Structure 1
């Protein structure tokens, strides 16, 4: 029997048991939920047929204390614990309770660590009692993470059935449930408390994750589980991963804020991943939360730990305070010029759906009313990133994903069907071909930088734009199998630009209609617009994306708050 026959035989025998392994995993998770937090079967059944889970439905399943605590943002929680008005145990209990309810409604926790979290919260309270101070800037703050980050005492399966009970698919390493990613160690020293881990959007263990705002629509991927957790407020903030929009897209579809930093700002050391040897366009951790202030607080806290001292792939770049970018009187403009902002209504390749167009118009009008100088953004085409991104991300043929699937015999989820040949990975690119793609990426980055600098000739201040606004994706929400274009986010990974997603509005089926004069740029543009269904999308969150220069996260977050403030004033004045 040759190696291929042996692999096939292994798959054949494993096919009989992967469903049972997944079922046992689901049962193990359920047993970690205290009986007092279990929902009635009728409640779970009702949740499955509801269009929306947010608002009164989920709030009605929680007691008053849980509602009150989980409604607070991170800075407020820290302040309450620092004053002694509330304990870490009460905060962690409230979020664990809410997360338990969310999991039963949506099946979005691969790992549940409530017992561990409450034990840690008690330690934090004891420290506060003894020293009359918080242990760090995230003292007692519950978080959840995409299940790529290793936490002692919990498994990491990345939603591969074959990884259950192993360390990244291997047994007997001594690392099973006994290893921690660097980011987890940093959070521990900052006082943050992990309470569990979320899955990939589509997986064979828990199934498919839908948007809690509109359960006809996908939660987006691949960090969709974490986006659902944040949308329903199951933790105070979350961590996902991104290589092509995997944080930004689900954030936009679930009405939350997110930060995807440039590579090298946060540590990926000791994090499970596919394609771990691909470092030309690396996967990055991303932060999800309820406000720009939370994104800022978490990033600043993590950078205070000097992650570059432990991870040689992190850039030694401490937090840099940025001025608040608010318009100054004209007499002051010489010393405090108003920043210019680039504006991309569409990239000339695929036109956003009507609600995304409306969100962009709202942002533009809000910023213009606030006195900002907006410049049309027409850089090197996103079409070029289409020619680069897939070749780098999947140019090896994804043999590690294939091997992970073969461990249990589970099938590919629909999102990666066609990725492999019938009996194995596709042939990888040759090294010279790969070099050509990387050279193209370098040239694309250089030309994009030249374009960015050239905007100084069109800005009132005589300086290049600080950031630019664009769609996150062409769609507001996502009907499964109706997604045709990812280059608004893929391009930011190819360029290694940091991005912030800002929720703006929701789809209104009576307002957001396709313009009768719409003419597609190409076939993909036509397919995308034909997939728009105003009734199906109704109520879905709609967001914009703010993009900054490489490694400019602090400035980007400052500008993101400017946009949020301008939108708040604009919406208030429009009522």
Structure 2
């Protein structure tokens, strides 16, 4: 997600109110309403409506939820966890509650058929879509047929096709999957190949990541909603409308991979895949209370994945994973690297899975740096509490925690914006022209006159890249300098910091991306770990707090303990570049420390 827009809450409210959409309706009366802009032609609306109708028709009649259930869901704060569980039969509830390693142990030894597993997740995904409107592509029929083929293979050969044999997964609708369309949030892409109606590759082409996953035995059951253009931290498009957080329906699911974050919160698939250029995996994971990893560029395939600003490679888009546990992320990533993806995607570095990087805390303790305030925007009370819970848990288990005062993350955000918007985002308007659809309201403030932004010349881009290089050197040097501050005499192993200053976000009130921006600018790995839930009886704002600046003031005034109640509160664990194996092991250490010492004052997601 490119960090383009800092909307004022007042302007956002007035614009959305004039359009008459359901952006700010409370959960008790909020139902899904398509985004209907002023002065729009009916043609794009008809195309979007027909797609919604066709997709709903792909849900079997026996998986259709009664209207009274839909109505009840609209009155609830959360439709995740106990609510969706209560709708399922015992077998589906049991299977969809298991983590990836446990599921794969059963499918690879033949004790669980791929059809049974895939059917259970397809059914849950169908429920999730009806409750949350999070699927842009539905492929249940094809998924079950693939599962039947996998079961036949096992019966004939008495072995699995690969370590992900029968694993039902979902993907952000930015990846091409054979048999499904790809919209990337654009109405003009419906029924086409990236907007080309006559292309022979329509519904036949697959992204390299999908080909690798399929070779391992994984099954893509559906593709999830995302923000139009990929360039915003809240998910909205003109096909499905604004996307709400299933764990707190007054808040956003995040962006740009918001639908995937929500699908994982609803456990509609065993694992999810998204893309990230500035927090697009990390924010949805944090907002929806699930785990995620954003690798460094070059670890996982991105070949044949469409993108916005597709020629920009100085801060590249990377593939990220979202799921129910560290163990699930680790299992899938190790499996993917076993395919040697560098042989088919020249953008992937020839680095296999390295067990030598997995830290052994039985032999040594870890050193963490801790950043609870970047000097610009202070986190809301639920995030501050989550950070302190992690710090206390790590210290209680013997690990070291020192302060982090590295290079400014605000500078990282400025560099990020300068590079990723250097082309003025011209391609966004090219895609909009295909159908005549408008920009979503969240993007309009960044495009005065509803046209592309200013374009940098080659010299200006080169200057921005030089700033990028200098920032990366400074960040790495500071990281290495922490060896002078640790008891171990070696640099820190990771940094604990917020993802954003809030637990999810009230629509239109996401003002600060600086905490997460640095991970993409320096190309470091980062994990998201859900810690607790916002609690209105505990997370009370300090009435004497004096904001340090205008953005801090806006962020502080946006906090409402009653609205945020129940929202997931997560932390970011930042690791070194290309150290995914180490970071996942560190993430397990953090998670076990939290569980072992029960320092949670809320229900762990």
Establish whether TM, by shorter chain, passes 0.5: yes
Bigger shift: residues 368-377 or 564-573: 564-573
**Distance (Å, rounded) in 1 between the aligned partners of 2:502 and 2:356:** 33
Q: 1:295 — aligned with what?
A: 329
Bigger shift: residues 220-229 or 34-43: 34-43
1:2-151 residue pairs with structure 2 within 5 A?
15-151=41-177
Q: 1:465 — aligned with what?
A: 492
**Distance (Å, rounded) in 1 between the aligned partners of 2:54 and 2:299:** 36
Do 1:231 and 1:256's aligned partners in 2 also have CA atoms closer than 8 Å?
yes
Q: Is 1:244 equivalent to 2:278 in the alignment? A: yes
How far apart are 1:322 and its partner, in Å? 3.8
Q: 2:27 — aligned with what?
A: none
Deviations 1:49-96 (A, max 9, x none): 221102332122211111111111111111122332221000000000
Residue aligned with 2:445, SS? coil
**Distance (Å, rounded) in 1 between the aligned partners of 2:306 and 2:442:** 20
Q: 2:449 — aligned with what?
A: 422
Deviations 1:418-459 (A, max 9, x none): 232425312311221111111111101100111000000111
**Distance (Å, rounded) in 1 between the aligned partners of 2:122 and 2:297:** 31
How far apart are 1:340 and its partner, in Å? 1.1
Q: 1:7 — aligned with what?
A: none
Q: 2:249 — aligned with what?
A: 215
Residue aligned with 1:441, SS? helix
**Distance (Å, rounded) in 2 between the aligned partners of 1:114 and 1:100:** 9
**Distance (Å, rounded) in 2 between the aligned partners of 1:573 and 1:30:** 40
Bigger shift: residues 396-405 or 45-54: 45-54
**Distance (Å, rounded) in 1 between the aligned partners of 2:366 and 2:77:** 42
Match for residue 409 of structure 1 among 421, 427, 436:
436
Aligned residues: 558
Bigger shift: residues 316-325 or 433-442: 316-325
RMSD: 1.7
Q: Is 1:266 equivalent to 2:300 in the alignment? A: yes
Match for residue 255 of structure 1 among 289, 310, 316:
289
Q: 2:25 — aligned with what?
A: none
**Distance (Å, rounded) in 2 between the aligned partners of 1:235 and 1:193:** 10
Q: 2:216 — aligned with what?
A: 190
**Distance (Å, rounded) in 2 between the aligned partners of 1:88 and 1:298:** 17
Q: 2:26 — aligned with what?
A: none
**Distance (Å, rounded) in 2 between the aligned partners of 1:14 and 1:153:** 31
Do 2:594 and 2:600's aligned partners in 1 also have CA atoms closer than 8 Å?
no
Do 1:212 and 1:232's aligned partners in 2 also have CA atoms closer than 8 Å?
yes
Q: 1:199 — aligned with what?
A: 225
Deviations 1:176-228 (A, max 9, x none): 11101000100011000000100112111011111111100001111000011
Do 1:339 and 1:465's aligned partners in 2 also have CA atoms closer than 8 Å?
yes
Q: Is 1:557 equivalent to 2:584 in the alignment? A: yes
Residue aligned with 1:208, SS? coil
- For normalisation by structure 1, the TM-score amounts to 0.95
Do 1:325 and 1:338's aligned partners in 2 also have CA atoms closer than 8 Å?
no
**Distance (Å, rounded) in 1 between the aligned partners of 2:502 and 2:536:** 14
How far apart are 1:381 and its partner, in Å? 0.6
Q: 1:158 — aligned with what?
A: 184
**Distance (Å, rounded) in 1 between the aligned partners of 2:100 and 2:546:** 45
Do 2:172 and 2:260's aligned partners in 1 also have CA atoms closer than 8 Å?
yes
**Distance (Å, rounded) in 2 between the aligned partners of 1:263 and 1:338:** 28
Q: 1:456 — aligned with what?
A: 483
**Distance (Å, rounded) in 2 between the aligned partners of 1:143 and 1:33:** 17
Bigger shift: residues 428-437 or 290-299: 428-437
Match for residue 309 of structure 2 among 253, 275, 278:
275
Compared CA separation, residues 128 and 327, structure 1 to 2 (3 A): closer
**Distance (Å, rounded) in 2 between the aligned partners of 1:246 and 1:317:** 24
Residue aligned with 2:181, SS? coil
Match for residue 392 of structure 1 among 397, 413, 419:
419
**Distance (Å, rounded) in 2 between the aligned partners of 1:157 and 1:258:** 24
Gaps of 5+ in 2: 1-36, 227-234
Runs of at least 4 residues of structure 1 off by over 6 A?
A: 11-14, 572-575
**Distance (Å, rounded) in 1 between the aligned partners of 2:237 and 2:450:** 21
Match for residue 399 of structure 2 among 363, 372, 382:
372
Match for residue 547 of structure 2 among 520, 523, 539:
520
Residue aligned with 1:338, SS? coil
Q: 2:28 — aligned with what?
A: none
**Distance (Å, rounded) in 1 between the aligned partners of 2:413 and 2:109:** 51
Do 2:532 and 2:600's aligned partners in 1 also have CA atoms closer than 8 Å?
no
Do 1:339 and 1:373's aligned partners in 2 also have CA atoms closer than 8 Å?
yes
Do 1:325 and 1:562's aligned partners in 2 also have CA atoms closer than 8 Å?
no
Q: 1:546 — aligned with what?
A: 573
**Distance (Å, rounded) in 2 between the aligned partners of 1:61 and 1:539:** 21
